């Protein structure tokens, strides 16, 4: 388990976890709730959530840098 922690601390996440809450007639509200790193063997992921939503859904998206 300590190997995963060292790997996640040294590299940025490959994906970002968001809570998405839909609103009637409006765009959904996306809130970042965590980060995702692939396992070294390529057979799974390490998911680190900063909070656990009680409504909406969790969506995982590829991490990208925001444009200015």
Domain ranges of the chain: 2-62
Taking alpha carbons only, the member of 63, 67, 7 closest to residue 35 is: 63
- pTM here? 0.75
Q: Which residues partner with 49 through β-bridges?
A: 34
What is the per-residue pLDDT for 11?
Answer: 81
What is the per-residue pLDDT for 6?
Answer: 44
Give CA–CA dist 13/21, Å, rounded: 23
Query: What confidence tens digit (pLDDT) does each residue in 6-44 have?
Result: 444 558 999 999 999 999 999 999 999 999 999 999 999
H or E stretch covering 19: strand 15-23
Buried b / exposed e along 19-44 (16+ C-beta atoms within 10 A): beeeeeeeeeeeeebbbbbeeeeeee
């Amino acid at each position: 388990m300590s190997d995963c922690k060292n790997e996640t601390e040294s590299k940025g996440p490959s994906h970002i976890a968001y809570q998405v809450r839909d609103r009637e007639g409006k765009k959904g509200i996306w809130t970042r709730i965590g980060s995702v790193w692939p396992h070294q063997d390529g057979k799974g992921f390490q998911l680190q959530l900063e909070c656990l939503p009680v409504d909406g859904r969790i969506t995982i998206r590829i991490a990208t840098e925001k444009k200015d």
